């Protein structure tokens, strides 16, 4: 795909932290965007989108959808050249997590196929890559690594299961129906928050600054800036050579590395001291996201990601300067 200024694209989950950044950058590039929300009457989902540059020109249209209501999705996708499927539940209940993630992905892809969409970019996660305890200890985890489904079932890790099953659904649909699908697998996504609510990664940082000692040993693979994740989506959409999965982290690192950097940058907060090697089965790597780097993405480093994220928390009064 090349950048077709004025082309119409759909962003499901457009009101979320990543979705808002993606809508913002797409509008900046001249796209017309169909952004979906869960409740179009809720200003917490709509007001920040309507305030984005380009929205006032009529290039932003908001649609209320339910991932399990196929007809609501078709109205948002109609007339679009591309679809960015970000919408996904992030809750702990098994049924409420898995069903919308899997069936919702199938519904969005079906609507895209019927509408003649050229390419669909699916937002997966590193949670579809890890936990993967059987992965060879001497091999860096990457796009060819998948989360161990049976392991997650045994200990009740429903979020990684939902991301893994949803992504597998996308690949199966692409193969069977001939729809052009590419996938982005972001890590722990942080930075300046556009919507009024925080995502899970920003909440993790907030708890860390408040002294939380959780280690996230099964989930953390590295941090990435909101802007870089949005850019990654656009790059894989616009680049004809982009295929398959795309790991999206500034580097593979341990949660202990992240905590140590937060403590170094912000000694005034109650950041706990935890071991650096919090994930003994995870090999560190600077170029884990080489596929995106080869497409031209220059990742914002961890230090700047943390600074931007903390400043965003301060601006909301969630932590004291």
Residues annotated as catalytic (active site), given as ranges: 163
Q: Which positions ≥6 away from 290 have C-beta within 8 Å?
A: none
Name the token pair of 66. Answer: 């339910």
Q: Are 89 and 100 in contact (CB under 8 A)?
A: yes
End-to-end CA distance of the chain: 44
SS3 content of the chain, % helix, strand, coil (to 5): 40, 15, 45
Name the token pair of 295. Answer: 């497409």
User: Helix 43-50 crosses helix 17-28 at what angle (to 10 degrees)?
Assistant: 20
Among the residues of 32-116, which ranges form H helices? 43-50, 70-77, 94-114
Q: What is the largest CA-CA distance in the chain?
A: 55
């Amino acid at each position: 795909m090349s950048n077709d200024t004025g082309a119409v694209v759909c962003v499901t989950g457009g009101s979320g932290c990543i979705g808002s950044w993606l809508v913002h950058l797409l509008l900046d590039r001249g796209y017309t965007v169909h952004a979906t929300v869960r409740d179009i009457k809720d200003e917490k989902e709509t007001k920040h989108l309507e305030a984005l540059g380009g929205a006032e020109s009529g290039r932003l249209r908001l649609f209320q959808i339910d991932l399990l209501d196929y007809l609501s999705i078709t109205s948002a996708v109609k007339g679009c050249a591309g679809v960015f499927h970000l919408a996904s539940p992030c809750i702990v209940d098994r049924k409420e997590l898995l069903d919308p993630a899997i069936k919702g992905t199938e519904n969005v892809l079906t609507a895209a196929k019927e509408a003649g969409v050229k390419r669909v970019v699916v937002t997966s996660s590193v949670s579809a890559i890890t936990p993967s305890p059987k992965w060879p200890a001497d091999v860096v985890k990457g796009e060819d690594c998948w989360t161990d489904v049976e392991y997650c079932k045994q200990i009740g890790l429903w979020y990684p299961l939902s991301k893994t099953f949803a992504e597998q659904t996308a690949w199966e649909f692409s193969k069977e129906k001939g729809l052009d699908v590419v996938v982005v697998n972001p890590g722990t996504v942080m930075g300046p928050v556009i919507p009024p609510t925080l995502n899970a990664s920003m909440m993790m940082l907030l708890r860390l600054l408040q002294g939380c000692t959780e280690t996230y040993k099964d989930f953390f693979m590295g941090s990435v800036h909101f802007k870089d994740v949005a850019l990654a989506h656009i790059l894989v959409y616009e680049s004809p050579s982009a295929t398959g999965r795309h790991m999206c982290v500034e580097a593979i690192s341990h949660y202990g590395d992240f905590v140590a950097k937060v403590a170094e940058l912000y000694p005034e907060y109650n950041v706990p001291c935890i071991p650096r090697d919090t994930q003994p089965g995870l090999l560190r790597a600077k170029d884990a996201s080489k596929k995106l780097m080869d497409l031209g993405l220059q990742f914002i480093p961890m230090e700047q990601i943390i600074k931007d994220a903390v400043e965003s928390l301060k601006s909301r009064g969630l932590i004291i300067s």
